[in-house]
Structure 1
Amino acid sequence: MEVPERPSYAPERAPDRPPRRLRRTLLLVAAAAVLGVVAGTCTGYAVQAHRPPTPLPPLSQPVVERAKGEAEPLPGAQDRRVKTDGDLRKLLVDRPKGAKDGRLARTGDGWLGLLEYADEFTNPKKAFSNNIAQQFRRAAVVRWETDGTHQVEVRLVQYRQEEELTAEDSAEGDIYWAERETRGHRWPIPGTGAGMAFADTEPDRRPGYVPVYGAEAHAWRGDIVMEIYVYDTKPITKKEIMSLAERQMGRL
């Protein structure tokens, strides 16, 4: 888990910030998918072999007339592509009033380049290659800090998806690791299908750092992945992480 820079009252010794996990597990996910397909296919053949033959329907079918004219394009308010192809930063959830720039911030323009995004992983080189293969398009980020130790980071990562649904694969990778590394609660995010939120009930303890609690949320919609990370020296509430996730997904 990525740990925020230590608060001012932390121990004087400050080693480099621990690297975050490598959340891409393409081989494992692919193997699970293949096993699932093979098992389902074998079961289907076994069941079908014991069933009596089913008569085929007649070849002649009613002819459906083709509609005349051209379909009218969706208005901008209803066309999601108009919104998601614009300035991705404008889709980020608003920072709360009084919040300061988060100490985790590296750039101030709200964009997160592929090199910087890949550098957030335990294995940046592999993360860079994986995101190239997944057709990474761009990423936007907002970070803020309240109460001195409470830090929030929200990311929107967009993929081109010209050949595969890579946004879904990316979000599933996030959830895969969060399920294995979170020391506490997990909840489905309403209205997102498979989106999930997580919160620690035990802090992350590492030499040279104050104990830090984390919470995160992951979901996707279309070609955009949502990633939310919250850190503090006290537990993150369900209300906060769920509210953040629902508000952010509501803007997509």
Structure 2
Amino acid sequence: MEFSEVADAPESVPDPGPGPSDVRRSGRTTLLIAAAAVLGVVAGICTGYVIQADREPTALPPLSQPVLAQAKGKGPEPLSAAQDRRVRTDGDLRTLLLKRPSGAQEPLFEPGHDGWMSLAEYAETFKQPAVAFRYEIGNEFRRAAVAAWRLGDTYSVQIRLVQYRQEEKLDAADSADDGRYWAERKAGSRSWAIPGTGDGRVYVHTRPETESGVSVYSAEAHAWRGDIAMEIWIYDTKPISEGKVMDLAKRQVGRL
């Protein structure tokens, strides 16, 4: 190619963005800094050996040491079952669920069996059950308890307590965070913080979803405490107030 052909090329060329070399440069700088730090430590150790070699040897203390007397008296009393949260959460998880209010009816569809939801049943509550099933296995799903009821012909409530093993990470916190993420993506959503939970929130969706000619409003709440993620779902053919879902959320968190 002649020089005139290069000169005729357009002056503005789109920026291709950071290339592989740009990405590697950052990592290489980090390695150089780390190597310098290691060399500095090695140099300091060598200098210390030289200084120590020129000093007179220091006499070692005798091997026999005085025996320390053991403190007398009883040790601290173990926590009672009311004080030890682990006792509550390792027991029957269903006892931590809010009780069905007076006058409430059985739900049209009973979730789970006898207040428990298996991993497969819990995964079925997602839009992609197969994906959710694998995701929950990776999140060390342990068990889930559920309570549901209906007030009148259209108002329904479902509360789930999902417990994780948490041997490697805070899966309950991740679960609640996922719930908040998807709740915030719904159009017409408003949210409020749940007091005493740090990042727990309730959501009221002001735009109904219409199916088979019926418009249904919804509200939800997501929070976590320890190894348990709390989910609350409310559905009605009429708009749902913030007070209704907030009242349930505060009382349910209080039982955890």
TM-score norm. by structure 2 comes to 0.70
Q: CA 1:218/1:200 → structure 2, altered by over 3 Å: closer, same or farther? A: same
SS in 1 for 2:150: strand
Q: Does 1:203 align with 2:208?
A: yes
Measured after TM superposition, the shift of residue 200 of structure 1 is: 1.6
Deviation at 1:185, TM superposition (A): 1.6
Please name the residue that 2:198 is paired with. 193
How many residues end up aligned between the 2 structures?
A: 189
SS in 2 for 1:100: coil
Cα deviation code 1:44-64 (max 9, x no counterpart): x9xxxxxxxxxxxxxxxxxxx
1:128-143 correspondence runs (5 A):
128-143=133-148
How far has the Cα of 1:70 moved from its partner? 4.8
- Deviation, 1:72, is 3.5
Unaligned stretches of 5+ residues in structure 1: 1-37, 46-66
Q: Which residue of 2 aligns with 1:249?
A: 253
Mapped pair 1:238 → 2:242: yes
TM-score normalised to the size of structure 1? 0.71
Letter in 2 for 1:96: P
User: Which protein is richer in helix relative to its size?
Assistant: 2
Task: Give 1:227's aligned residue.
Answer: 231
* Residues 92 and 142 in structure 1, CA contact (< 8 A), matched pair in contact too: yes
One-letter amino acid of the counterpart of residue 234, structure 2: V
Corresponding residue for residue 117 of structure 2: 112
The verdict on how the C-alpha distance between 1:74 and 1:182 changes in structure 2, with shifts beyond 3 A counting, is farther
Q: Which amino acid aligns with 1:226?
A: M
CA distance in 1, matches of 2:105, 2:124: 24
Q: Which runs of 4+ in 1 moved over 6 A?
A: none
For residues 96-115 of structure 1, the C-alpha deviation after alignment (integer angstroms, 9 at most, x for no partner) is 10111111324440000000
Q: Which secondary structure state, in structure 2, belongs to the residue aligned with residue 101 of structure 1?
A: coil
Question: CA–CA distance in 1 between the matches of 2:167 and 2:213?
Answer: 43
Q: CA deviation digits over 1:138-177, x for unaligned, max 9? A: 0000110011000100000000101111100011000000
2:177 — aligned with what?
172
Structure 2: state its 5+ residue gaps.
1-25, 34-69
Relative contact order, CA 8 A, sep 6+: which one is greater? 1
Larger Rg: 2
Contact 1:161 1:223 in 2 (8 A): yes
Q: Aligned-pair RMSD on alpha carbons?
A: 2.1
- Give the share of equivalent positions with the same residue, in percent: 53
